[in-house]
Amino acid sequence: MKISKIFYIFSMKCARSSFIKKYGKDIWEKFAEESERNIDEILPKIPKIGNSIFSSSYEFAPCYIAWYKALKELGFTDKEAGECIWLINDKMISALPDFARKVYGKIYYSSFRKKSSGHMAKQSSGELHPYDWSIAYRDVSKNVFEIDVLSCGLKKLARDFDADGMFPYLCRMDYLFADRLHCGFERTKTLGDGNECCNCRFIIGGSCEWNPDRGFEDRK
């Protein structure tokens, strides 16, 4: 079974009760049926990008597309679909114990930082897959680094499957994951908002507020 399908199944199990509480059992059943059909159609069409520091993000892409398209077919607006995908991801990542998320977050972001120079080298030599992310990386201090995302694999796949309406809502989930994984995160621009890059700043061991009610005007 492909990793993307495992992510999909786990996320759906984690989100089921919260989804039903918010939208009702009838909507859940229709959503589950339609998104299952979507992901099974999408997965064979997804190109493989090989080993990348963005591999986990790329593996989630078919799930996001399948959910988004199912929600649109059920009459959800782009904003409503985006908020529903936030809910699913929140329940998925929050299913892990807090201490485990904290340890995983430190390992994940530290590993991402260490491997960024290699990613940049592949990028400079033209070895990156066309659907991989292109970035500009900067070390700031012992626990802080910055990445400007110049092109995004999620946006490329979304365009292929007529799912551009997922943006900029998918971009906001970087705050969700940073919060749940106990990492500081700051950003004022994203490709999903029409900016020239996503100017991401990570603080390993820091903190980040998710809180969608606060809005995303100054923290895209």
Instruction: Split the chain (220 residues) into runs of 10 and give each run's mean pLDDT.
Output: 93 98 97 98 95 95 98 98 98 97 95 94 96 97 96 97 97 97 97 98 95 93
Residue 36 included in any domain: yes
Residue 219 included in any domain: no
Predicted local distance difference test score (pLDDT) of residue 2: 87
Residue 92 included in any domain: yes
Residue 220 included in any domain: no
Predicted local distance difference test score (pLDDT) of residue 193: 97
Name the residue range of residue 30's domain.
3-214
| DSSP of the chain | --HHHHHHHHHHHHHHHHHHHHH-HHHHHHHHHHHHHHHHHHGGGPPP--S-TTHHHHHHHHHHHHHHHHHHHTT--HHHHHHHHHHHHHHHHHTS-HHHHHHHHHHHHHHHHHHHHHHHHHHHTT-S-TTS-EEEEEE-SSSEEEEEEEE-HHHHHHHHTT-GGGTTHHHHHHHHHHHHTTEEEE-S--GGGT-S-EEEEEEET------GGG-SSS--
Domain count along the chain: 1
